[in-house]
Structure 1
Amino acid sequence: MSGLRILADENIPALGACFADHGTVKTLPGRAIRQSDLLDIDVLLVRSVTRVDESLLAGTPVRWVGTATIGTDHLDTGWLDAQGITWVSAPGCNAEAVADYVLAVLALAAKAQGRQLTDGSVGIVGYGNVGSRVHQRLKALGIETQVTDPPLAETGVTGLATLEDVLACDRIALHAPLVRSGPWPTEHLLDAPVVEALTPDQALVSAGRGAVVDNAALLERLEASDGGPWAALDVWEGEPLIDPQLAQKVSIATPHIAGYSLEGKLRGTVMLARALSVWLGADSTVRLEALVPEPVELEAVPDDLEATLRAAYDPRRDSGELRATLAAPQTERASAFDRLRKEYPVRREFGFHHLPASGNPVVNRQLEGAGFTLIY
């Protein structure tokens, strides 16, 4: 089947290469997609900024929805299922990129707190595609970890910790999906009492869903006399109109770009293209390898893992870009948040940074554990 009418978020890359064989592709900004734009559309491709529900799709011919993201909380999957509308996501597409982000941020936290990256413990909330990759890399670096994931524990998975164990760690990384109901809700999982208990010796990294942390409570904690924990937020309540005071108070403030690697974006598009081909009963010829450019050659900093991480990706640049928008009027700040995402510069995943192996096998193991590809 060909000749499909496809509407896509303009921030999804490689649409022509991945979907042109299936029909015509039109694009719009994700937040600007309205029901009136879908009256002649068969397939809708979105990212997390587009809420896909009855108010958007009722009365339209859309029969297939794909989101080029890990999360699906912006899709009303129950309503889509009831209408017989097929929906797919791209689980794991940018998990490597988020793991890169977390390592780079943890390196900055260690430097700010007078530690080494490998010092102390890291607690991870959520053991899905991202959390498991973060855990894998931290373990490869010899870092003590605690992981909590109650829904996974309920299935019989062992070795998991309690939330209290994780919150007692030196650094805490949040990778839970946003769940508002059921036995294991995650909205404001870190509520005011939990946030209040965080100490200045701890570090908090939120790169999953903004509402997992009570943002107002975190701001109050950071405004306390002791300064609160070292904190990095990539996700926020109220996006794209985030709290400018909170964005100024945290140590690192980025505009929901933790997963915005070139490879992560392309991987998401490829996953949707393959899923659409399956739905159509067709063979997919789309391959990620054909879309990804040559790896980047990066010069490692001898015997300095943290400096090598910063050379590959330094979150302070993205933080500075976001902070430069915070003094603008409210409507301009919201637009600036989206613009920073739309115009985000090319960022390659650590695995696509090729480094010459050093003469120190310990350093080599660290670099490979962090996700880099070494050339021996």
Structure 2
Amino acid sequence: MKILADENMPYVQQLFGHLGTIETVNGRELTAEQVNNVDILLVRSVTQVNQALLAGNNQLKFVGSATIGTDHIDLDYLASRNIPFSNAPGCNATAVGEFAFIAMLELAQRFKSPLKGKVVGIVGAGNTGTAVAKCLEAYGIEVLLCDPVLEAKGDPRSFVSLNFLIDKCDVISLHTPITKTGEHKTWYLFDEARLNRLRENTWLLNCCRGEVIDNRALLKFKQQRDDIKVVLDVWEGEPHPMPELVPYIEFCTPHIAGYSLEGKARGTYMLYQQVAKVLNIKGENKMDALLPALWSEQVTVTEIATERALLQLARFVYDLRDDDELFRKNFLNNLGFDHMRKNHKHRREFSALKVSNMGQTNVNWLSNLGFSGVGL
């Protein structure tokens, strides 16, 4: 059996190696010829899986995408050929939630404007948006949710309109899929008109798809409104961000908000479980056995008395400033954007760090944030 996998997926060899031979490829440059004699195809969001890619393959048993979104997959075509497909919903939700929360803490520190006391609006309340809300609510932040699609489906949570959210929130974090048509399309959801509606000193974060914000309109807007602070992990036209826009963005990263080691491993592991079902075999490998220990597994803290102290604890696990600096140095290099993504292997989640000897007042909310061993 031949397995073809995106080179950015970790632990493929450990999980799938016993099933056959494995070849890893650059997912963005994958060709139909490379797929022709493949039994299992494992991709990420940079690979368009459609008839053009698969038409020459008559033996494909499974297609998996280690992502939440499926906009890069022609699901109808796969169904027409009875090719089983699975994605990995929620695999990187915790990573994205923690990334957005850390980015907010970094903005608060840089601009001396505490996150505590702000109202945060989350546009898109699926897996990642919910994970952001979980972090914020653990810290005692008021959160407003906007998701007309989930609201129409009967989601019991309380939702507000997008205009209401823009008018009321100090921070707006975007977590929608990309949709180009329909009543609730998200392509250029934040166009020139919506950007101009933002309240003074609003923070705007995009960790979903670059085209949810009109990047040309954002450049024009930021040139006139320096009070608005922006964090972009995703960019229109990836892997080629607008060079003119980068200097106006407070924190820049190359679409790696979900790239924690735990999140990437979880995505691969979820596909492994689905392949085991399709092939009717017993999936005996365990995800926890794959993950290495954090460089320092445990930290002893007596008190988290300030927001700065919380940020310092978060930086112990992941320092966003490092990736921002690396992005600004390398994004214009040939294949620089994808090179940074491919080599982004250091990021961990809060759960990798055990926090011990905490005062009782800090135990619950730090545990709810995701830190492990709290209060031991």
Q: Distance in 1 between matches of 2:331 and 2:286?
A: 40
Name structure 2 gaps, 5 residues minimum: none
Which residue of the partner structure matches residue 93 of structure 1?
91
Q: What does 1:62-211 align with in structure 2 at a 5 Å threshold?
A: 62-158=60-156, 159-168=158-167, 169-211=169-211
Equivalent residues of 2:207, 2:257 under 8 A apart: yes
- 1:363 deviates by 3.0
Q: Distance in 1 between matches of 2:143 and 2:46?
A: 32
Q: Distance in 2 between matches of 1:172 and 1:317?
A: 23
Name structure 1 gaps, 5 residues minimum: none
Question: What does the per-residue CA deviation read over 1:215-265, in whole Å, with 9 as the maximum and x for residues that have no partner?
Answer: 1111111111x3141100001111101111212210000000111111111
Equivalent residues of 1:305, 1:363 under 8 A apart: no
Any idea what SS the aligned residue of 1:290 has? coil
Q: Distance in 2 between matches of 1:286 and 1:245?
A: 47
Equivalent residues of 1:171, 1:204 under 8 A apart: yes
- 1:294 deviates by 3.0
Equivalent residues of 1:107, 1:309 under 8 A apart: no
- 1:362 deviates by 3.0
CA RMSD of aligned residues (A): 1.6
Q: Distance in 2 between matches of 1:366 and 1:308?
A: 14
Q: Distance in 1 between matches of 2:285 and 2:89?
A: 18
Q: Distance in 2 between matches of 1:327 and 1:235?
A: 15
* TM-score scaled by length of structure 2: 0.93
Q: Distance in 2 between matches of 1:200 and 1:193?
A: 15
Any idea what SS the aligned residue of 2:64 has? strand
Q: Distance in 2 between matches of 1:181 and 1:234?
A: 24
Which residue of the partner structure matches residue 21 of structure 1?
18
Q: Distance in 2 between matches of 1:272 and 1:111?
A: 39
- 1:327 deviates by 5.0
Q: Distance in 1 between matches of 2:290 and 2:13?
A: 11
Identity of aligned residues (%): 37
One-letter identity of the residue aligned with 2:149: P
Q: Distance in 1 between matches of 2:116 and 2:304?
A: 17
One-letter identity of the residue aligned with 1:7: L
CA 129–337 in structure 1, closer or farther in 2 if over 3 Å, else same: same
CA 27–122 in structure 1, closer or farther in 2 if over 3 Å, else same: same
Which residue of the partner structure matches residue 319 of structure 1?
324
Question: What does the per-residue CA deviation read over 1:76-115, in whole Å, with 9 as the maximum and x for residues that have no partner?
Answer: 1122222222211011111111111011101012223322
Mapped pair 1:12 → 2:4: no
Q: Distance in 2 between matches of 1:298 and 1:54?
A: 51
Q: What does 1:257-276 align with in structure 2 at a 5 Å threshold?
A: 257-276=256-275
Any idea what SS the aligned residue of 1:319 has? helix
One-letter identity of the residue aligned with 1:58: A
Equivalent residues of 2:166, 2:199 under 8 A apart: no
Equivalent residues of 1:70, 1:89 under 8 A apart: yes
Q: How many residues align?
A: 366
